[in-house]
Chains A and B, each alone.
Chain A
């Protein structure tokens, strides 16, 4: 149980276009999902916390108009990278926290590698 999927696993897009990444909790409901960004050979950096039915909370320095997050249901959160630039190329990982979890467990998706050309 507690499986989180991401789609797509890899995407290549041209500079100036927008890309949507989906994060799904497959066998549980998640009131809260998290979006992380990982640069090569570096750790994960939390970008934003996605709450079902409300606006996402962004970490300092993350542009909310560039990284649009929508958590429309208890099993789906999407991250849209708008007007992508090569510096947005990165590995994006989501995690989901089961609703009502006593200790706020998080389960991670396999990641999406974005390359902007």
Chain B
């Protein structure tokens, strides 16, 4: 079945550092890929998405490129801020499924 594997945390960075959170997936067909962010005590918010190979999703300085050849969707940001501290989830939605598969989440802490 479909699954998502993402880098284990926690990740602690200093402000303005470069961020990479790795995410790889296993899926049949042509899945859509997502990154969600969860702030403390809140639900998930869509951060970015990509629906086909080579698409790049971007939002709030975060980027991720859908790489079919490596089955990856790594999240990157060039300069993190304290306000980026949250848990980040990589997720996959099968083309013909109405459900999602989530990675385990990576907790990011950015220190001033």
- Residues in chain A within 8 A of chain B (CB atoms): 6, 32, 34, 41-44, 46, 49, 93, 95, 97, 103-104, 106-111, 113
* Other-chain contact of A32, B41, B93, B98 (Cβ < 8 Å): B98
Q: In the bound complex, how far is the Cα of B45 from the Cα of A68, in angstroms? A: 26
Provide the residues of chain B in CB contact with A46, threshold 8 Å: 99-100
- 7 residue pairs A–B, Cβ–Cβ below 8 Å: A41-B107, A43-B89, A44-B102, A46-B99, A49-B99, A106-B93, A111-B42
B89 contacts A44, CB within 8 Å? Answer: yes
Known: A34-B99, A46-B99, A49-B99. A111 touches B43 (CB 8 A): yes
Interface residues in B84-112 (C-beta closer than 8 Å to A): 89, 93, 97-100, 102-105, 107
Provide the residues of chain B in CB contact with A113, threshold 8 Å: 41
Distance (Å) between the CB of A106 and the closest chain B CB? Answer: 6
Provide the residues of chain A in CB contact with B45, threshold 8 Å: 108
A106 contacts B43, CB within 8 Å? Answer: no
Interface residues in B1-55 (C-beta closer than 8 Å to A): 32, 36, 41-46, 51
- Residues in chain B within 8 A of chain A (CB atoms): 32, 36, 41-46, 51, 89, 93, 97-100, 102-105, 107
Provide the residues of chain B in CB contact with A41, threshold 8 Å: 105, 107
Given A93-B44, A107-B46, A110-B42; 7 other pairs, CB 8 A cutoff: A32-B98, A43-B89, A46-B100, A95-B100, A104-B97, A108-B43, A109-B43
Distance (Å) between the CB of A27 and the closest chain B CB? Answer: 16
Distance (Å) between the CB of A62 and the closest chain B CB? Answer: 13
Distance (Å) between the CB of A90 and the closest chain B CB? Answer: 13
Q: Which of B36, B45, B99 has the most CB of A within 10 A?
A: B99
Known: A97-B98, A103-B32, A103-B51. A43 touches B104 (CB 8 A): yes
Known: A49-B98, A97-B98, A106-B93. A44 touches B44 (CB 8 A): yes
Provide the residues of chain B in CB contact with A32, threshold 8 Å: 98
